[in-house]
Structure 1
Amino acid sequence: MVFSPHFQTPEEEYSSVERAKIRTSGLTEDLMGLSYAMSSPDDLEGEVSDVAKSFGIYTQFHRDMRPGERKHMYMVRIPVPGGGPIDLEAWLKLDAISNRYTVSDAYTGTPEPSLRLTTRQDIQLHWVRKADLVECIREICSSGFLTLNGCGDNVRNTKACPLVLSGDAIDHNSLARRIAEHFRLPSRLYLEVFEIPLEGQGQEGHSYPDNLMPRKFKIAVATARRVNGMLVYDNCVDVRTNDIGIVPVIGRPGTFQVFVGGGMGENQGRATFSALALPLGTIEEDGLIPCLDALASIFEAYGDRKNRHWARFKYLVYSMGLQWLRERLSERGVELGPSTISNLDGLERHIGPVTDGDRVHYGLFIENGRIIDGPNGRLKTMMKHIAQTYTGTGVRLYITPGQGIIVSNIPVDRLGEFEAIIGSHGYGKRNGRPVSRMRESSIACVGLPTCRISFTDSERLEPRLIDMLEAKYGNTGIGIGISGCLAQCSMPARKAIGWIGTGRDRYMLKLGGTSDGSGLGMPLIDGEGKFYLQMVPVHRLADCTAALIDLYLGNSDGKEDPGRFFSRVGSQFIIDALRRDPRTSDLMVPVEMPERLEGYLFYREALRREA
């Protein structure tokens, strides 16, 4: 069997990353020379680079340059639990930091500073030089944020719906911040390494093992809000793509449904799979944090620490099953009630104004989260103008899981002024043309030239691909997801059409993600287990995408969810149609991928078992 994780890995079989983490005693002891590594002129490499991820630092380099000319740069990630709130004064500080440390020509062709928002509601600074790294992080801390838990093998930024309204069923934002604070890494070593004189930062932190968690661990909180007098779910955080999803049960105040085992990442040439979290059970509010603690401890004890490609919580959940997990929770004193929710509707993007009493919350679309002065308007200048104009008025900012921003608490009588400000900066247009529904529904990760694990372009490709398609298809609202590699940070499998990098300028297709969040995109696989459209050249993506959209439009009423249509008609119907289409016929060459096939078949069988 190719799919064979090493659960409860014995210490003698630990990977080199696990051994490196152990030498920091759970990020409490500087036994790796982190202080020296941060202050020296040499680049962070090897084990030090792996451990530094927990400080919110990724080692990267400009991958468009030839290997002999490449210079290391760094990405610094700032967790923002629940997406906010971010005070306008703090935003102005982060804006100034990005002006000093992120100047690059990688995205616009001219040197422009930028901030980037992520699907986990983080803020990323790209292209930070090693010489500036320590000072950059010190300045970030002066804004009120830390970069701890931004990366690494710990509980990452806790997501929550960024829209906070008076009729919401729970205070989801505060809950997310409480969970994030509970799982924060010990900060003493972090403060010492960067010589940050901050008090009251919870220096003891969460009690992680010496080698932390087997891999990253992600938690999200959905909400329920009142619409036309009724409570309905808002699942903009897409809880079922997380290791743990938390959802308030409508009609049972103080009760939460817990989902477990979600995650999008796969691995090239391995028996891995994307998965949606499964409904584990319900818990009362006073037992929620102990339940999360217990689930984290089970992952720490049983997760694969030999093979990092199988070290995610989803592989434990889908291999051992929900009943096994409930038994492990019971051993830790946590008893769950029966599940009441099996699925959730609506992956809301939160774009545009929402009025709540005498205040307005205005969601801004930021293509791929890149806040920069460029073809989509002078967005960076716009956000600075907004922050300067509304400082002292109670206005706050929240990051959306769709990589946008909600400007919250705008006084109703100043809405016209606000819309005039964003309009004067070119918001809502790209190269002077209105942004289409397709563009608003699409997404890409960073990809090349920044991400060191990416195979190819994604953020630089997606706007150009939509440019080629939106004149004909822009009003369909069909979402396209692009990821530079199988880590799938932009979650392309949650879009109707997903393109995932498999090589330089090569992409594989996934179809079937639905706008309500119930469908997970899958590759095209025929009845004999052979894959199609696994290495599509970049210059053929527009034709392939157009052929797929035309197939949907020609065989449905146009109202059916596109992802649900692709799942309903099935792979063989799509394969046969694309073989007949002159735009794609030469690309329909079957490929055998036994390891990948085993991963997908295992996932499908596990779903049937748990159902």
Structure 2
Amino acid sequence: MSDIIAKLRDISFDDLHPNERLKVDSDYLRGTLMESMADRATGAVSENDTQLTKFHGFYQQDDRDLRSERRHQKLEPLYSFMVRLRLPGGLVTPAQWMTLDDVARRYANSTLRITTRQTFQYHGVFKENLRPHLKAVNEAMIDTIAACGDVNRNVICTANPHRSKAHREVYELAHSISTHLLPRTRAYHEIFLGEERVAGGPEEQEPLYTRHYLPRKFKVAIAIPPENDVDLFAHDLGFIAHVDNGAIRGYNVCIGGGMGMTHGEPATFPRLSDVIGFCTPDQVLDVAEAVLKVQRDNGDRHDRKHARLKYTVEDHGVDWFRAEVEHHLGTTLDEARDFHFASNGDRYGWYQGEDGAWHYGLFVQNGRLADFEDGMHLLSGMRAIAQVHTGDIILTTNQNLIIANVPADKRDEIDALIHRHRMTRDVTPLRQASMACVAFPTCGLAMAESERYLPSLIDKLEDVMHKVGLEDNAINVRMTGCPNGCARPYLAEIGFVGKALGRYNLYLGGNPSGERLNRLYRENIDEPTIMDELTSLLQRYAEERESGEPFGDYVIRAGIIAETTAGRYFHGAPA
């Protein structure tokens, strides 16, 4: 155990955030969850247990559309849980898909939602359905352990391991990192899967996390240039593959990214990660562990708004952080290799991999797979495909999916099912490049609509794009209902962040490769103001852009918005 953690045991918890005592006193994340799950008098779990459920992969929520009505009826809120899968690399087999679909229909709200972390979320899971839900998922060789909480989250990577040998390698690496950084407590298995705790057995330990776990969440991404579909620089830890003649020779190591901030608090800000060196493939797990330990031992446990790894880097400096990582490694990192990212979007339609197999990229608006009233039956369509598909199904961090490894003689059958269920339509590049978080009605942090609103706003922006001759252009548009940044809005060319019902902060100036933060352009504006501002800007862009110039680059070159050169300058560079 490190000296820092040893000292933590002796520090008064009055000096730390209350969650720190909760973790230490939780008996390795058990708390009173067994009692909370057995309490049928309420649809909720106890206040402390709501924090512990996150480590097991689910959040307590309630239907905010019904809050007022239920309060008037003197009923408690309609509590349910959002359940998130741990799915490194985002791949499921057709058989697993059938189970996940069945679980959505039996125990949730009959939808599957692809998240920006390359996994699924279920919404509307009531407490009495939690155990059967988790057991069914577990029987499909999937779990929800550490999908949330102050631990390493779902590890993401450039999508589709079937595209090339290098893609398979990073997919397998995502699994290895996820397993290596997984908490060791058996609490999940005992409370939700029925495993018995052995009396008188060896004392349980967390050799990596200790009883304190991490100060905040920890996120890892792996990318293969020139594609940055994972928005690698938005994560605590990133690995950029260096590919030479089709083989991965090693990885550039990046530390200190993160999207969240708080409105009105300039000490909080999004930040892009810094490249600190290069490691060989056999060093990756040791590097990941070393970075996590540096954050474990030095992250802020007093103020959770200042507890992410990005602030540890800001407070101590990149050179200090690299030296600490190298101290844990017992060796130095090599100098970083050159790399180039061209895009952070997805491929759509049919394309071939290195071995000649076919893959189909399916656009899923805001990641929601459901049978919609307009006749687009994405959930039933994917179920029909899973029944005949012999390859895999892969989720992307842009909330889309890939029907992967399709033999040439199966293409027509897959195509027929896609069209029969109206799973694809003519979609503009603007809509394909859009992304939204869930927000209302389930997210307790939402200040404004996001998933339910962005499609109609895109409708209006598409009309403007058509009128000014930009209908074939992709402009990256992202929206979140609060400033926590789940849809990574601070990397968007046009970003919307909810401020209040019907009102958003408008950010401009990200770039299409995910390598630059945007900046606040207008604050707390409604839809008419949004449309007035963007109509004018898009008209100017159509008239004044240089050949091939992205919108995010244009607004900076034209002096419409200043470039954000570092996260600490996100709210404005010092005078």
Aligned to 2:551: 562
Which of residues 282, 294, 297 is equivalent to 2:293?
Answer: 297
Quick one: which of 122, 125, 128 aligns to 1:125?
Answer: 122
Q: Measure, in 2, the Cα distance between the counterparts of 1:198 and 1:280.
A: 45
Unaligned runs of 5+ in 1: 1-7, 104-112, 225-232, 525-532, 575-597, 607-611
CA distance in 1, matches of 2:196, 2:541: 56
Over 3 Å counting, the alpha-carbon distance change for 1:565 and 1:572 in structure 2 is closer
CA distance in 1, matches of 2:405, 2:325: 41
- Give the structure 1 partner of residue 468 of structure 2: none
- Cα separation, partners in 2 of 1:253 and 1:384, compared to 1, 3 Å: closer
Note if contact 1:61-1:73 (Cα within 8 Å) is conserved in structure 2: yes
CA drift at 1:55: 0.6
Contact 1:26 1:211 in 2 (8 A): no
The residue number in structure 1 matching 2:201 is none
**Residues 605, 322 of structure 1: CA spacing in aligned structure 2 closer, same or farther, 3 A cutoff?**
farther
The question of whether the paired residues in 2 share the 8 Å contact of 1:552 and 1:558 is answered with no
Q: Is contact 2:555–2:561 with CA below 8 Å preserved after alignment?
A: no
Q: How does 1:35-114 map to 2 (within 5 A)?
A: 35-41=34-40, 42=42, 43-67=44-68, 68=71, 70-84=77-91, 86-103=92-109, 113-114=110-111
Note if contact 2:228-2:345 (Cα within 8 Å) is conserved in structure 1.
yes
Change (3 A) 1:284 1:358: closer
Sort the Cα spacing of 1:603 and 1:472 in 2 relative to 1 into closer, same or farther, 3 A: closer
Q: Is the 8 A contact 1:121 1:399 kept in 2?
A: yes
Corresponding position of 2:569: 601
Task: Judge conservation of contact 2:61–2:444 (CA < 8 Å) in 1.
Answer: yes
271-280 vs 68-77, which deviates more? 68-77
- Given that residues 343 and 518 in structure 1 are in contact (C-alpha distance below 8 angstroms), is that contact kept between their aligned partners in structure 2? no
3-state SS of 2:147 partner: coil
Query: 1:248 aligns to what?
Result: 241
In the TM superposition, residue 403 of structure 1 has moved relative to its aligned partner by 0.7
1:136-169 CA-partner distances (Å, limit 9, x unpaired) = 1122212211110111010000001122246443
Could you tell me which residue of structure 1 aligns to residue 453 of structure 2?
Answer: 461
Is 142-151 or 204-213 further displaced after alignment? 204-213
- For 1:269, give the aligned amino acid: G
In 1, Cα distance between the equivalents of 2:513 and 2:351?
Answer: 21
Contact 1:352 1:364 in 2 (8 A): yes
Which range is displaced more, 140-149 or 33-42?
33-42
Post-superposition shift, 1:547? 2.7
Task: Name the structure 2 match of 1:320.
Answer: 316
Give how far 1:600 is off: 4.0
Corresponding position: 1:368 with 2:366: yes
Q: Which amino acid aligns with 1:435?
A: V
Question: Are the structure 2 counterparts of residues 175 and 25 from structure 1 closer, same or farther at C-alpha, using a change threshold of 3 Å?
Answer: same
Q: Does 1:385 align with 2:384?
A: yes
State how many pairs are aligned. Answer: 538
Q: Identify if the C-alpha distance between structure 1 residues 538 and 79 changes in structure 2 by more than 3 Å, giving closer, same or farther.
A: farther
**Alignment partner for residue 525 of structure 2, among 536, 555, 566?**
536
Contact 1:258 1:283 survives alignment (8 Å): yes
Question: Kindly tell me: are residues 54 and 353 of structure 1, through their superposed partners in 2, closer, same or farther at Cα, counting changes over 3 Å?
Answer: same
CA contact (8 A) 2:183 2:209 kept: yes
**1:592-611 deviation line (CA, Å, top 9, x unaligned):** xxxxxx974388879xxxxx
Q: Which stretches in structure 2 are left out of the alignment for 5+ residues? A: 1-6, 198-203, 466-470
Q: TM-score, normalised by structure 2?
A: 0.88
Asked if 1 retains the 8 angstrom alpha-carbon contact of 2:151 and 2:217, the reply is yes
C-alpha contact 1:264 1:489 (8 A) present in aligned 2: yes
1:161-180 to 2 correspondence within 5 Å?
Answer: 161-165=158-162, 167-169=164-166, 171-180=169-178
**Contact 1:45–1:59 (8 Å) recurs in 2:** no
With structure 1 as the length reference, what TM-score do the two structures score? 0.83
Which has the higher mean CA deviation after the structures are superposed, 412-421 or 50-59? 412-421
- Judge conservation of contact 1:481–1:492 (CA < 8 Å) in 2: yes
SS in 1 for 2:240: strand
Shift, 1:567, TM fit: 2.2
Among the aligned pairs, what percent are the same residue?
A: 30
CA distance in structure 2 between the aligned counterparts of 1:243 and 1:195, rounded to whole angstroms: 31
Q: CA RMSD in A?
A: 2.5
SS in 1 for 2:523: coil
1:283–1:336 Cα contact (<8 Å) kept: yes
- Matched position secondary structure for 2:20: helix
Amino acid at match of 2:358: V
What's the counterpart of residue 410 of structure 2?
Answer: 414
In structure 1, how many angstroms separate the alpha carbons of the residues matched to 2:402 and 2:196?
A: 29
CA displacement at 1:249 relative to structure 2: 2.0
